[in-house]
Copies of this chain bind each other. A is one copy, B any other.
Amino acid sequence: MSITETNTPRIRRTPEESRANILSAAESLLVEHGPQSLRLADVAKAAGVANATVLHHFGSIGAVHTALMERMIADLVEAIMAVDVPADAPAEARAVGLKTLFDALESRGAARLAAWLELTDETSRLTVVRAAVQEVAQKKISNTGVPTEMAEDLILLSVTLAIGVGLFGPSLSTLIGKPPERARELTLQMLLSYLQQLSA
């Protein structure tokens, strides 16, 4: 028994750090390989910890999924809250705002998150989304000069298109032999032109 034991050096983090580390790893997996890759072993491996560590901090793999959804939604809300698409401002400002919105919903796997939520059955998770939507809608709608009804419609339209384009745009563009950002360009162009026409 003279074989020297290769004690694996342990990294000890605070619970918050550890949770964040695991969730970040899981987020990468989600974005790069899809929801079906969020298995316990895979998440643990990506985070560089043992399976049991993941369970120690979250209790179950399902809880990891929920926490990841919540974290990504929170990030997304924050990103969207930072965007301003003034309906009554000059076209130039609107264009910038919309572009930022599309960026926010395409990058960071936000579209992936949305698709995951959409395809996932469990309605319990919808409450989180609902809360986020409330938060965004409330702030966004109040600070425009247009009537509430129309503001809601415009937001619904913009967000739906942004998420849809964020998820499918790159693939479809590539499939038809165009640069991946083509669908987004076309959509933004149309959306801006439409808004301009409305305000005329």
Contact = CB atoms under 8 A, between A and B. Distances in A.
Interface of A: 33-37, 112, 114-116, 118-121, 129-130, 133, 137, 152-153, 155-157, 159-161, 163-165, 167-169, 171-173, 175-178, 182-183, 186-187, 190-191, 193-194, 197
20 contacts: A33-B121, A35-B119, A114-B168, A115-B118, A118-B168, A152-B176, A153-B182, A153-B186, A156-B178, A156-B182, A156-B183, A157-B187, A160-B165, A160-B169, A163-B168, A167-B167, A190-B190, A190-B191, A190-B194, A193-B197
Contacts of A176: 133, 137, 152, 155-156
A129 B36 contact: no
A3 B152 CA distance: 67
Contacts of A33: 121
B164 A168 contact: yes
B165 A120 contact: no
A157 B182 CA distance: 9
A137 B44 CA distance: 43
How many copies of this chain does one complex carry?
2
A72 to B, nearest CB: 14
A57 to B, nearest CB: 23
Contacts of A155: 176
A168 B113 CA distance: 12
B112 A119 contact: yes
Leading 8 A-B pairs by shortest Cβ distance: A164-B164, A34-B119, A157-B186, A160-B183, A115-B115, A190-B194, A133-B175, A33-B121
Most chain B Cβ neighbours within 10 Å, of A37, A178, A187, A190: A190
Nearest to A169: B160
A178 B152 contact: yes
